[in-house]
């Protein structure tokens, strides 16, 4: 699936924006341990993505590929939440660059 590969290429542990977006997505989905409370724009963006019908969600994915991709992964893939958690754990590990 093209969508899946694009998200994978956007999620890099040395990119602070990707790590922050992943942590914001985790927080939105209820993970208060690894998640990080997003600012008002990102919080509202996740709400808009959640409320969008499939065609509008696709449009949002063009403008916000990382956030829309993370939302899709967590909301629709069986292991999506665990995969995003694993990504964040790896990025926050002592050898990671962001804390």
Check residue 12 and give its pLDDT: 84
Quick: pLDDT tens for 9-45.
Answer: 778 888 999 999 999 999 999 999 999 999 999 999 9
pTM for the whole structure:
0.86
Q: Cα separation of 92 and 9, whole Å? A: 19
Q: What pLDDT score was predicted for residue 50?
A: 97
pLDDT digits (tens, 9 = 90+) for 36-49: 999 999 999 999 99
Structural domain boundaries in the chain: 2-92
**First vs last Cα of the chain: how many Å apart?**
32
């Amino acid at each position: 699936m093209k969508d899946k590969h694009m998200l994978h290429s956007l999620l890099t542990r040395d990119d602070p924006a990707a790590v922050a977006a992943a942590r914001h997505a985790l927080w939105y989905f209820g993970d208060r341990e690894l998640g990080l409370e997003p600012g008002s724009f990102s919080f509202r963006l996740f709400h808009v993505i959640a409320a969008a019908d499939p065609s509008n969600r696709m449009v949002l994915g063009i403008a916000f590929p990382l956030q829309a991709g993370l939302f899709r992964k967590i909301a629709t893939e069986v292991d999506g939440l665990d995969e995003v958690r694993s990504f964040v754990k790896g990025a926050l590990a002592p050898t990671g660059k962001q804390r």
